[in-house]
Amino acid sequence: DTGVSQDPRHKITKRGQNVTFRCDPISEHNRLYWYRQTLGQGPEFLTYFQNEAQLEKSRLLSDRFSAERPKGSFSTLEIQRTEQGDSAMYLCASSFSGSTAGELFFGEGSRLTVL
Amino acid sequence: GENVEQHPSTLSVQEGDSAVIKCTYSDSASNYFPWYKQELGKRPQLIIDIRSNVGEKKDQRIAVTLNKTAKHFSLHITETQPEDSAVYFCAAPRPNFGNEKLTFGTGTRLTIIP
């Protein structure tokens, strides 16, 4: 499968622990996005990268959240000192900035449960 | 920023009938409107999109219409089939931007009754 892949698919952690999610985008895509989705809601934008540069962060992304894309390929999203309100599906997506189609290709997501 | 409202939140239709889902957006400068389908436990996938230079776009049983004056756009699915059952999300970008930051609607859970 050459689509967007995310790891782990599921993570259960205790409040206060740190978690890290990884996203591998489609190889030729230079843009990478993180979204968060809670039950019954649409995806909410968190941040996006063009190549290795993080160009925008949502106000939803508190200081406990950090995202990186060090070589412009895969990305990691780390949540420090997790809280129960962080429980959600974290979706990664990628796209190619040269495309006029505008399509985001999503991964299957990483579901976080904070106990 | 962009506000996107989507209605209805749930929709049940008999197989073979049509389904219509509507979204409104707040910023008249927005120019790109995609629709994503998310099956249970699966990733969201783009099914159709429309740009503001056209009023309608069709792809087999799926169509999207755009009314820029009223700032709303709709998804139409004709001859519905069981595999159309899913959650559908509309989205709109920040004005004058592309897909860098989409605001999604809250979703419509469509159930096709056999």
* CB atoms B103 and A45 under 8 Å: yes
Q: Fill in the DSSP letter of residue A104.
A: -
Mean pLDDT over each residue of chain A, to the nearest integer? 92
Q: What is the pairing mode between strands B72-77 and B45-51?
A: unpaired
Chain A residues inside the 8 Å CB shell of B103: 45
Write the pLDDT tens digit of every residue in A84-114. Answer: 999 999 999 999 876 555 789 999 999 999 9
Using CB atoms, pick whichever of B34, B103, B106 lies closest to residue A102: B34
Ramachandran region, residue B79 (left: φ > 0; alpha: ψ -120 to 50; beta: rest): left
**B contact residues 34-63, partner A, Cβ 8 Å cutoff:** 34, 42-46, 49
Write the pLDDT tens digit of every residue in B28-64. Answer: 888 889 999 999 989 999 999 998 888 999 999 999 9
Nearest to A46 by CA among A74, A78, A18, A73: A78
Predicted local confidence at residue A100, as pLDDT: 58
* Burial (Cβ within 10 Å: 0-12, 13-18, ≥19) of residue B82: exposed
* CB atoms A108 and B103 under 8 Å: no
d(CA A35, CA A51): 17
Nearest to B3 by CA among B19, B27, B28: B27
d(CA A5, CA A74): 10
* CB atoms B104 and A44 under 8 Å: yes
Cα-Cα-Cα-Cα torsion A45, A37, A105, A51, nearest 10 degrees, comes to 40
Predicted local confidence at residue A73, as pLDDT: 92
**B3 contact A CB<8A:** no
Nearest-by-CA chain B residue for A98: B98
How far out from the chain centre does Cα B43 lie?
16
Write the pLDDT tens digit of every residue in A64-85. Answer: 999 999 988 999 999 999 999 9
How far out from the chain centre does Cα A24 lie?
10
